[in-house]
Amino acid sequence: MTANLKFLGNKADLFSMSERRNDRRLLCADMVPIEWTGDLGELRNEVALLEDISPLGLCLQTEGALPEGCLVLINLNGTQTRAMVRYCCWREIGYFTGLTFAPGSSWSSERFRPRHLTDPMILSPLRPKFIV
């Protein structure tokens, strides 16, 4: 019976709570160019898929692993934003990389609005109901 089970490595959900953003995340989908310095000092770049975003950080799906602590330059519609890799883990379809915006960097929907942006609180049937 256990021969058919797949045992997966670490998942982002298993990180300690100190690794998680405490601000409200918005789900999104957009392609964003990123740059970072590789282990050998070479400039690396790729186009990543933006998965979620908040004023303090974001999650990207990338083709390759980015080292924890690495500074990443993210091009958000012509605006260069800097963020630090907090975690990077393999999931079934790619690497999911959580980043915290560097000091002096942040996100707002006025400066950059992803092509597809959804607030999960609006969609949730458990959201607070207000009585008028």
Chain segment 30-80, per-residue pLDDT in tens: 899 999 998 888 999 999 999 888 888 999 999 999 999 999 999 987 888
DSSP designation for 128: P
> Alpha-carbon distance 112 to 87, whole Å?
24
Q: How many CB atoms lie within 10 A of CB 88?
A: 19
> Domains plus CATH for the chain?
29-103 (2.40.10.220)
| Contact (Cβ atoms closer than 8 angstroms) between residue 42 and residue 62 | no
Q: Is the Cα torsion angle 41, 92, 16, 82 positive or negative in sign?
A: positive
Does residue 125 register a pLDDT over 70?
no
Predicted pLDDT of residue 53:
84
Cα 112 from Cα 67, distance rounded (Å) = 26
